[in-house]
Chains A and B, each alone.
Chain A
Amino acid sequence: MLEIKNLHTQFSTANGLLRAVDGVSFALHQRAAIGIVGESGSGKSVTALSILRLFGPLDKVSIRGEILFEGIDLVRLSETELRRIRGSKIAVVFQDPLTSLNPVMPVGEQIAETLRFHRRLNKAAAKARTLELMELVGIGEVARRYGDLPEQFSGGMRQRIMIAIAIACEPKLLIADEPTTALDVTVQSQVLMLLNRLRDELGMALIMISHDLGVIAATCDFVQVMYGGRVVERGHIQEILNRPNHPYTAALLRLVPRIDGPVQRKLNPIPGQPTPIFASVRGCCFAARCEFVTERCRTDDPPMHDFGNHHVSACWLAEERELGALTTKSTRITK
Chain B
Amino acid sequence: MRRFVSFVPFVVNSFFMNDATPTTTAARTKPLLSVKDLVVRYTLGPGRVLTAVDQVSFELHPGETLGLVGESGCGKSSLARAVLQLIRPASGNVTFLGQELTRLNGAALRSMRRQMQIVFQDPRGSLNPRWRVGRIVEEPLRVHRLAERDQRKRMAHAMLAQVGLAPAYFEQRPAQLSGGQQQRVGIARALVTRPKLVVCDEPVSSLDVSIQAQILNLLQGLKEELGVSYLFVAHNLGVVRSLSDRVAVMYLGQFVETAPSAALFERPLHPYTMGLIASVLRPDLSARAQLDRAASYAAGDIPGLLHAPPGCRYHTRCPYAQQRCREQRPALEKVDGQDSHQVACHYWREIARNA
| Chain A interface residues toward B at CB < 8 A | 39-40, 154-157, 184-190, 192-193, 196, 211-219, 237-238, 241-242, 251-253, 255-260, 263-271, 273-274, 333-335
- Chain B residue at smallest Cβ distance from A156: B301
With a cutoff of 8 Å between Cβ atoms, the chain A residues found around residue B284 in the complex are 217, 241
Type the 1/0 row for B284-320, where 1 means its CB is closer than 8 Å to any CB of A.
Answer: 1101101110110111011010000000000001000
User: Interface code B259-295, partner A: CB below 8 Å = 1, 0 otherwise?
Assistant: 0011001000000000111111111110110111011
Measured CB to CB, the closest approach of chain A to B68, in angstroms, equals: 15
Chain B residues close to A by CB (< 8 Å): 1-3, 71-72, 164, 178-181, 208-214, 216-218, 220-221, 235-239, 241-243, 261-262, 265, 275-285, 287-288, 290-292, 294-295, 297-299, 301-302, 304, 317
Q: Across the interface, which residues of A come within 8 angstroms of B1, CB to CB? A: 271, 334-335
CA distance A268 to B1 in the complex (A): 12
Are A335 and B3 in contact (CB-based, < 8 A)? yes
**What's the least CB distance linking B212 to chain A, in Å?**
8
Q: Are A264 and B276 in contact (CB under 8 A)?
A: no
Additional 8 contacts, C-beta under 8 A, given A196-B288, A260-B282, A271-B1: A154-B304, A189-B290, A216-B283, A217-B283, A217-B285, A257-B216, A269-B211, A334-B1
Residue of A nearest to B289 (CB): A218
CB distance from B300 to the nearest CB of A (A): 8
Q: Establish whether residues B295 and A335, one from each chain, have CB atoms under 8 Å apart when the complex forms.
A: no
Q: Is A256 touching B238 in the complex (CB atoms < 8 A)? A: yes
Contacting residue for A218 out of B3, B208, B239, B290, CB 8 A: B290
* CB of A278 to closest CB in B, whole Å: 15
By the criterion CB–CB under 8 Å, are B2 and A335 in contact? yes
Taking a contact as CB atoms under 8 Å apart, the answer to whether A217 and B238 are in contact is: no
Closest B residue to A195 by CB, please name it.
B291
Q: Which residue of A lies closest to B72 (CB)?
A: A184
Given that A241-B283, A273-B178, A333-B217 are known contacts, is A257 also in contact with B208, CB under 8 Å in the complex? Answer: no
| A154→B238 contact, CB < 8 A | no
Contact present for A40 and B242 (CB under 8 Å):
no
The 8 tightest CB contacts between A and B, nearest first, are A214-B281, A257-B238, A217-B287, A213-B283, A269-B213, A189-B294, A218-B287, A39-B208
State in angstroms the CA–CA spacing of A242 and B285 once bound together: 9
- Complex A-B: 9 CB contacts under 8 Å: A39-B208, A39-B211, A156-B301, A184-B302, A187-B301, A193-B295, A217-B285, A256-B238, A257-B238
Chain B contacts for A242, CB-based, 8 A: 285
Instruction: Point out the residues of chain B lying under 8 angstroms from A251, CB to CB.
Output: 210
B214 engages A193 (CB within 8 Å): no
